[in-house]
Structure 1
Amino acid sequence: MQAITQLDASALSRAIHAKEVSCVEVMQAYRQQWARFNPRHNALVNLRSEQDVLGDALGADKALAAGESKGWLHGIPQAIKDTSAAQGLPTTVGCRPLARNVAPRDSYLAARMKAAGAIVVGKTNVPEFGLGSHTFNELFGTTRNAWDDAVSAGGSSGGACAALALRMLPVADGSDFMGSLRNPAAWHNLFGMRPSQGLVPFGPQAEVWLSQLGTEGPLARNVRDLARLLATQSGFEYGAPLSWSEPALASLADQLPEGPEGLKGLRVGWWGDLGGHLAMAPGVVEACEEGLARLAHAGAHVAPLKPCFDPEALWHTWLVWRQALTAPRIAAVMAMPGARGLLKPEALWEHDQGQQLTFAQFDKASQARSAFLSALLKQFETVDLIALPAAQVWPFPVAQRWPHAIAGRTMDTYHRWMEATIYATLAGAPCISVPSGFDPSGRWPMGMQLIAKPRADAQLLRWAAGYEALIGDWLARQPPILTQ
């Protein structure tokens, strides 16, 4: 049998349930991966003790021996992103004042993954408050890219993506507000999906309406695992009134196409750099166009698509929404004695900007967001998918906080270089980051966003599976450190 940590999650689940490998053997194999890679890459934090995780694995084996399985994740190690609560473990969001903030209960996502049999072994590292697509903080340090440890892993699901790419986890959960699933997936040759708003209930939260603009979702090395994990995470939750269920997801993983035949006639609109609005590092657009060329060769109709909105006006709409939702989270921590002096300047900027917002400004931004959705739905009458790069730059040095310029153009905020990710978020639409090639040196992966209309998550996964069949040569590549 293939090495345990090289098995994808679906194959690992089959091996466990066929008793070809025990849950204890699985846990031991993954612990060896953690010992090998985590000291340098710093993807996993607050790991539980050897005694505790092996005890849980032994319990999972005893359950199987008695004919009892919790589900497809039975006995499979998982580390929950450190923005989501896992009972008994700290939820720090990478923030020093929250270092001992032990969760009294699970998030909806963690509870559902545990119910499917996952053994939670710890957390995955994040930027402070999940802000910015570079995973570093003063509490745990910096997560390094699995493909090149001199550069950023992205974020805010950077720890999850690095752990997944280095085979320290078989699948991983993440969350996405401004590309936090999509950007690090792009930089790790992985699939990361931001589901339609509400498909994966987000919480429990103190505020259950507006906070759902951010969403949790799955990360995987292939689309089948992505679909299976999304089915586990998704579904209506009474405590999240905007949540909903998609029955098609329950069996979708076993019904995904094996080849690209379903792509014939698919209409793909290419936004590219939005007519020059988005600053792009050299080679990024070209890498994505390689993926588009493969779609076209498979029979898809790929054509440039003019944006249906004013990009600069929409950016300012985004700033209002982001500050309105981010500032209160930071304010809650700043109420702790001495906390302000421990927070990074980007968090303080978000907080201070948010204090100046008025309801009239937010109402105007809400109307602008609604108008954008209407315009986008009009475009989806002529295309099935909209494509654009999942990142605007290649991974940058780990010592750099964020890119201050792209191709000679100055970034006016710490997150302007991630602007390409705001459109699916504002529309509440499903979006998958799919691998689309490498930089000219072959060191760094790049990904492309595929956006479908809201609530077309199952169909988007089918199309992504068809695309996966076209890029086997890219997916066969692994981080060099795995083969050393």
Structure 2
Amino acid sequence: MTLCDRSAGDLAADIRSGDLTAETLMEATLSRIARRNPELNAIVALRERDALLAEARAADRVPEAARGPLHGLPMAIKDLANAKGLVTAQGSPIFAGQVAAQDDLFVARLRAAGAILIGKTNTPEFGLGSHTFNPVYGATRNVVDPSRSAGGSSGGAAVALAAGMVALADGSDMMGSLRNPAGWSEVYGFRPTWGWVPGEPEGDLFLHPLATNGPMARSPADLALLLDVMAGGDPRLPLHRGARPVQPLQDPGALRLGWLGDWGGAYPMEDGVLATCETALSTLESQGHRVDRLAPPFAAEKIWHSWITLRSFAVAAGLRPLLDRRAQLKDTAIWELERGLALTAQDIQDASDLRSDWMRVAAGLFDTYDALLLPTAQCWPFPADWDYPREIAGVAMDTYHRWMEVVVPASLLGLPALAVPAGRGPQGLPIGVQMIGPAGSDAALLGLGQCYHQASVGAREGRAT
């Protein structure tokens, strides 16, 4: 295993002890990026080599006792978040070249923990759509098959991890953006309990609790390392949670798990997706977990109606200041903006009522099941030159994001959800499984995921070099 393919935990431990220098790791990282990134386009706005090596040498001069948990580790920040001195284009021509004046809250925590920020990871325009392409940087390509999509909106982060360009990455997730690209890149993505990783104390702090930042890595143990740095309350945020450390991860013992599959046929699936995911279920069963095949616990159409209403409401709030620059927005962004602005107060209340109904049903499910399981996507990675799939298994998609409906049950309730690799299908393309737990079960989910990783896919770590 080469240096760039080692676990983040091992790299960080060796740098803290002095067995590895940050400069050596930075040299290897930049060499890997030079070799892989021209084809994959995962890292954007890469800083100058000399500046990065100088920062790495400075890190090596820090006394060992003062080195944080991420000391000397190269990281690239998803290009929706601000990192002081780096461009935050958000995939939009409107903001191309805009340099951030300060760090976002979680980015400041990464720096304080010793991470060296090397640049950004690519994302769709404003993070909208689960396919990473934009007019500023172009498309990020799948590490398994570069003719295919990397997913999104954390597609650049997932591919950078899978190709060994970074050992840790941040992402964000409103509608599967930490989960879909992880599944399509054979890495791990974790959407934490909403409020576990605080957002920015700016703008409205109450009405739009749909998205969250979270970690991505090549193992759940490395997810835990990064999550413990990113997490923690902030008194300026009224809906934050006081997150508890999740390290060290523990084996949760035998659990009872519920497999929801295609939600009783409500979610169209491409051939092979369910069968490949069910190989992961077999691995879980071999570890002593009980996996029950469940009937749909709630009407999928009601969940979708609630979601698309609240999502459009949130997206419109974010994009409304750009309404007079609509000529520079992609068509799907304009559609969602206009849809959100047309909503009434009664529309929002009705959607919130449905959300509450689903919450009550889900709470009852978690009285019986420790986690619920679903695929990370309803289709295999599609051609990178598509904007989105127009149909799945003969069923027309009526919106640009309906093909990702399978991630909505967790997103709507702000539940923790871990994406794990399930395997490759008949065409050699990858898919993943979501492990969804009740609010606050983050440590238990990561422990379950690490046991699964060790049993089934540990050998994949660093395969895509």
Same fold (TM over 0.5): yes
Question: Which secondary structure does the structure 1 equivalent of 2:19 belong to?
Answer: coil
Q: Letter of the aligned partner of 1:41 in structure 2? A: L
- From 312, 330, 333, the counterpart of 1:347: 333
Amino acid at match of 1:229: L
Aligned to 1:407: 393
Please show how residues 32-111 of structure 1 align to structure 2 within 5 Å: 32-63=31-62, 66-111=63-108
Contact 2:26-2:56 at 8 Å conserved across structures: yes
Q: Select between 108-117 and 173-182 the one with higher mean Cα deviation.
A: 108-117
- Structure 2 SS opposite 1:413: coil
Number of residue pairs the alignment of both structures matches: 465
Work out the CA distance in 1 between the residues paired with 2:310 and 2:280: 32
Q: Quick check: 1:268–1:300 contact (8 Å CA) kept in 2?
A: yes
Once the 2 structures are TM-superposed, how far is the Cα of residue 476 of structure 1 from its aligned partner? 5.0
Following the alignment from structure 2 to structure 1, what is the Cα–Cα distance between the partners of residues 459 and 133?
A: 28
Counterpart CA distance in 1 for 2:350 and 2:249 is 43
Instruction: Kindly state the Cα deviation for residue 171 of structure 1 after the two structures are TM-superposed.
Output: 0.8
Please name the residue that 2:18 is paired with. 19
2:435 to 436, 442, 450: 450
How far apart, in 1, do the equivalents of 2:298 and 2:451 lie?
Answer: 30
Greater shift in the superposed pair: 349-358 or 16-25: 16-25
Counterpart residue type for residue 404 of structure 1: R
> Who is 2:250 aligned against?
256
Choose from 318, 338, 342 the match for 1:329: 318
Deviation at 1:54, TM superposition (A): 1.3
Match of 1:312 in 2: 301
With structure 1 as the length reference, what TM-score do the two structures score? 0.93
Residue from 448, 460, 465 that aligns with 2:445: 460
Q: Does the 8 Å contact 1:183/1:390 carry over to 2?
A: yes
Match of 2:361 in 1: 375
Moved more, 4-13 or 209-218: 209-218
CA deviation string 1:179-199 (max 9, x = no partner):
000000000111100000100
- Counterpart mapping for 1:136-151 below 5 A: 136-151=133-148
Contact in 2 for aligned 1:386/1:452 (Cα 8 Å)? yes
Whole-angstrom CA distance in 1 between matches of 2:445 and 2:297? 21
Task: Give structure 1 stretches of 5+ with no counterpart.
Answer: none
* 1:232-311 pair list within 5 angstroms: 232-249=229-246, 252=247, 254-257=248-251, 262-264=252-254, 266-311=255-300
Compared with structure 1, are the counterparts of its residues 473 and 172 closer, same or farther at alpha carbon in structure 2 (3 Å cutoff)?
closer
Separation (CA, whole Å) in 2 of partners of 1:407 and 1:305 = 22
Deviations 1:304-349 (A, max 9, x none): 11222111122111111110000122222334xxx31121101010
Note closer, same or farther for the CA distance 1:115–1:314 as it changes in structure 2 (3 Å cut): same
Q: Distance in 2 between matches of 1:318 and 1:415?
A: 11
Tell me the percent identity. 41
Give the alignment's TM-score, normalised by structure 2. Answer: 0.97
Aligned amino acid, residue 312 of structure 2: Q
SS in 2 for 1:175: strand
Instruction: Work out whether residues 218 and 461 of structure 2, in 8 Å CA contact, stay in contact via their aligned partners in 1.
Output: no
- Tell me the C-alpha RMSD between the 2 structures: 1.4
CA distance in 1, matches of 2:458, 2:52: 36
Per-residue deviation, 1:51:
2.0
**Whole-Å Cα distance in 2 between the matches of residues 239 and 211 of structure 1?**
16
Spell out, residue by residue over 1:407-457, the C-alpha distance to the aligned partner (whole angstroms, 9 max, x if none).
11110000000000111111111000111111123x321100010011111
Asked if the contact 1:437–1:474 (Cα under 8 Å) also holds between the matched residues in 2, the reply is no
Letter in 2 for 1:478: R
**Corresponding residue for residue 10 of structure 1:** 9
Measured in 1, the distance between the counterparts of 2:411 and 2:419 equals 13
76 and 430 in structure 1: CA distance in 2 versus 1, 3 angstrom threshold: same
Superposition misfits of 4+ residues, deviation over 4 angstroms: none
C-alpha displacement of 1:255: 4.1
SS in structure 2 opposite 1:146?
Answer: coil
Following superposition, the deviation at residue 206 of structure 1 comes to: 1.5
Q: What residue in structure 2 maps to residue 162 of structure 1?
A: 159
In structure 2, what residue type is equivalent to 1:256? Q
